[in-house]
Structure 1
Amino acid sequence: MSNAPSPFVRAALDAARALPSSGIAWLDAARRENLDAFADTGLPEGRNEAWKYTPLRALSQRAFALADRDVAATIAVDPALYALPGVDGARIVFVDGAFRADLSSPGGEGIELAPLADALTAHPEPLRFALANRYRRGAADAFVHLNAALAADGFVLRVADGVSVARPLHVVHVSSGAQADTAWHVRLLVEVGKAAAVDIVEHFVSAGDATQLGTVVSDIVLREEGRLGLVVLQDASAATTLVRRGHIRIDAGAAATLHALELGGALVRHEWHADLEGDKARFDSRGVFALAGRQHADTQLEIRHKARDTASDALWRGVADGRSRGVFRGAIVVAEGADGADAALSNKNLLLSGMAEIDTKPELEIYADEVKAAHGATIGQLDERSLFYLRSRGIPLVDARSLLTLAFCRAALESLANDALREHLGELLVAHLPTGPTE
């Protein structure tokens, strides 16, 4: 990068300098270290292989001030904006990155759920590794360093050993639209105890159309024999840029499942990193992006098998219409000693427009013995014979296209056990699918 920082970097540095001290020496030092790392690297450029298909030149010329937490605390938000059927457990709501106690509801017995600021005040030392040592210089990209330097809010969730949480936890990120050209940053820390179980629904919405940037970094630890169901629904406005990085550590005998639906946003990048650390750990992931207009969505999935008899199954779908662009990279790494691993990855995509684009890159690295692994990716169009069949039965072209596209996408959502939520996601997908003819 050039010596002169971009407007994006300059604005971030100004925002960091204006932040008050946390009062915790190691946390302030970690923020400074991450800020220095971000200043040194700047935003990723095209020669960075991990960002090859997601150019950030236009973003680098934008100057985002830090969203005002005092303003965010007073913004009126209608709870109907984020209401979801089948999701009626504890709720934690952030508006422009600021925790809103008035919109949130506490957890139940066996759950420790606290805003990050409160957890740091009460018991800061247990959070030291995650906040100060987890992402050191050279171990993360620019957006993770930016989040670590500027995130002033988030939450800490701990589920005690043996506790099964009956109702899903709802995590809501609201971009208010009331603070134009601002950025917000949130950090999430989750620990699921031994033989414990919890479902989490993370939900991105917008209350207005002003341009905003949001970053979220989450770290999840799933202890032995634990169970985690994670659903991520991204339905932000077309003026929103989102960058989210999630890391999941899965210990022996534990299992995590991810379902992701990407609908909104102007530029969205979601990274998922899963480390299968213990014998017989399992990670299943399912996801869909459905894009239109000039939307850009980038999904990065990396699954690392590090122990014996681990398993992973990834099934992802992409649909691009208009002039949109979708990116998918799925990497499976089977480390030395991870004998008996079983890994599968499938990524299938539909182009609904001649001007849309999808880039897919499946990767497989195997350094162990007696491994079963398969991966594949396709990019195509709707099947003309199926369209002809539906139209011959009197179904209009628009409806026929929507039916086939929905069936294609639903393969990635049908394993979601929450019936009410699964049906709602399908309805959102239908509403988002294109209604006009292909270009």
Structure 2
Amino acid sequence: MDAAAGVPATGIAWLDAARRENLEAFAETGLPEGRNEAWKYTPLRALSQRALALADAAMAAGADVPGALFALPGVDGGRAVFVDGVFRADLSSLDAGTGVELAPLAVALAAQPEPLRFALANRYRRGAADAFAHLNAALATDGVVLRVADNAKVAKPLQIVHVTSGAQADTAWHARVLVEVGKGASVDIVEHFVSAGAATQLGTVVADYTVREGATLGLAILQDASPATTLIRRGQVRLDADAQATVHALELGGALVRHELTAEVVGDRARFDTRGVFALAGRQHLDTQLEVHHKARDTASDALWRGIADGRSRGVFRGAIVVAEGADGTDASLSNKNLLLSGSAEIDTKPELEIYADEVKAAHGATIGQLDERSLFYLRSRGIPLVEARSLLTLAFCRAALESLPNEALREHLGDLLVARLPASTAAE
């Protein structure tokens, strides 16, 4: 995979310099190889051999994308829609209510670039592990800026939609998301990844979430891209004192998908919880990298993730909890359980725990197995057919990670999507 010959000029000196530097870093390191520990379970050889051009903005602006593609029950607040990384005003609704600023990144940069300098001029460490972050920082020309004012209570969930049009084969698009939740504020956000066509495309998204003192963020992620899509996402969450953030993720689509989610719990008494499910079939490959860094006193985190794999698919999950020196009183736990529904499927799970403080409560665990034969026998003995029994057990296994989502309508919809995508081996012996 070749880097572009140059970066789109913005006329903002510090931003253009940062973009050039990131493109140079990408050109220097290239994509990570199997010897890179962070990518050892996700080979990129096939991607590296593809020639990907930047998606054409004019084509993205005119692509036919029906609103029904990203409509979600229980999600009726402000909405920002991007097609191949290009903002679509005709599909968006930026009126998000009092105390909320929701704007395309390009518009925010044109109006007041300086407040965005710290986020956009960030220098990633130069290394192959950050290759896609470099690429995104160099080539992302648009995205979302979302600011919630201090003490604002946003009643309706906001939606950020990334659509892969499928109309531009062998192209790449890049988008940036910047979210700040002010002190004492609360907001629910849904990030939605969908495809309008099946052409091979690469998308990268880098998202930064800052949750100020006493604020609350609820983030639901629904990834339902086409089987031809390669999607690389990096999310970074920072929590100040007494802040809370909860992430629910459902991963269903994509050919090659990687989701890196890192939390920096830097304020006393802050809490970060995550719940996630992936359901894979065919030859799908999904890699989840979760890191939670506790850096303050009396903080807490709880991670519960489930995975199922069928066909010749492969799932990867790495969950790391790091408790820094001085972060006494930390209470952290991580659980990752997985089901293999095919003899050819594979799931690699790697829980990690690093503790450098005293008076800490921490636990982690991971399992990989198959459907319980005794439970199947019990259901069948009650007259439930094998097909339905396997589906019921698989759904119950996965739903444990979604049942805490407070938006009932959205929760039920995600459950329905999960039922529709259950691997075919749940329907046959």
TM-score category (smaller protein): over 0.9
Counterpart of 2:420 (choices 414, 426, 431) is 431
The aligned residue for residue 4 of structure 1 is none
Q: String of CA shifts for 1:41-92, please: whole Å, max 9, x gaps.
A: 1001000000010000111111111000111111111000010000000000
Q: Is the 8 A contact 1:402 1:434 kept in 2?
A: no
Structure 1 distance, partners of 2:104, 2:80, is 8
The aligned residue for residue 343 of structure 2 is 354
Aligned residue for 1:388, secondary structure, equals: helix
The aligned residue for residue 73 of structure 1 is 61
Structure 2 distance, partners of 1:150, 1:398, is 47
Aligned residue for 2:144, secondary structure, equals: strand
Alignment of 1:85 with 2:76, yes or no, is no
Q: Which amino acid aligns with 2:259?
A: H
Alignment of 1:43 with 2:31, yes or no, is yes
The aligned residue for residue 17 of structure 2 is 29
Aligned residue for 2:283, secondary structure, equals: coil
The aligned residue for residue 52 of structure 1 is 40
1:312 CA displacement: 0.1
Aligned residue for 2:4, secondary structure, equals: helix
TM-score by length of 1: 0.96
Q: String of CA shifts for 1:315-336, please: whole Å, max 9, x gaps.
A: 0000000000000000000000
The aligned residue for residue 398 of structure 2 is 409
Deviates more, 1:111-120 or 1:132-141: 132-141
Deviating above 6 A after TM superposition, structure 1's stretches of 4 or more consecutive aligned residues are none
Structure 2 distance, partners of 1:427, 1:438, is 20
Q: Is the 8 A contact 1:293 1:321 kept in 2?
A: yes
Q: Which amino acid aligns with 1:259?
A: H
Structure 1 distance, partners of 2:262, 2:114, is 25
Q: CA RMSD in A?
A: 1.1
Q: Which amino acid aligns with 2:135?
A: L
Q: Which amino acid aligns with 2:269?
A: K
Counterpart of 1:137 (choices 126, 130, 143) is 126
Q: Is the 8 A contact 1:43 1:142 kept in 2?
A: yes
The aligned residue for residue 209 of structure 1 is 198
The aligned residue for residue 111 of structure 2 is 122
1:398 CA displacement: 1.4
Deviates more, 1:101-110 or 1:336-345: 101-110
Q: Which amino acid aligns with 1:411?
A: A
Q: Which runs of 5+ in 1 are unaligned?
A: 1-7
Counterpart of 1:312 (choices 285, 291, 301) is 301
Q: Which amino acid aligns with 1:42?
A: G
Q: Which amino acid aligns with 2:417?
A: L
Alignment of 1:95 with 2:80, yes or no, is no
Alignment of 1:253 with 2:245, yes or no, is no
1:387 CA displacement: 0.7
The aligned residue for residue 13 of structure 1 is 4
Q: Which runs of 5+ in 2 are unaligned?
A: none
The aligned residue for residue 166 of structure 1 is 155
Q: Is the 8 A contact 1:352 1:438 kept in 2?
A: no
The aligned residue for residue 363 of structure 2 is 374
1:135 CA displacement: 2.8
Q: Which amino acid aligns with 1:277?
A: V
1:138-287 matched pairs, under 5 angstroms: 138=127, 141-287=130-276
The aligned residue for residue 337 of structure 1 is 326
Deviates more, 1:344-353 or 1:139-148: 139-148
Aligned residue for 1:137, secondary structure, equals: coil
Structure 1 distance, partners of 2:346, 2:428, is 14
Q: Is the 8 A contact 2:8 2:141 kept in 1?
A: no
TM-score by length of 2: 0.98
Aligned residue for 1:133, secondary structure, equals: coil
1:253 CA displacement: 0.1
1:138 CA displacement: 4.9
Aligned residue for 2:184, secondary structure, equals: coil
Q: String of CA shifts for 1:149-168, please: whole Å, max 9, x gaps.
A: 10011011110000010001
Aligned residue for 1:238, secondary structure, equals: coil
Aligned residue for 2:392, secondary structure, equals: helix
Structure 2 distance, partners of 1:147, 1:398, is 44
Counterpart of 2:374 (choices 371, 378, 385) is 385
1:136 CA displacement: 4.9
The aligned residue for residue 5 of structure 1 is none
Q: String of CA shifts for 1:256-311, please: whole Å, max 9, x gaps.
A: 00000000000000000000000001000000000000000000000000000000
The aligned residue for residue 105 of structure 1 is 93
Q: Is the 8 A contact 1:34 1:136 kept in 2?
A: no
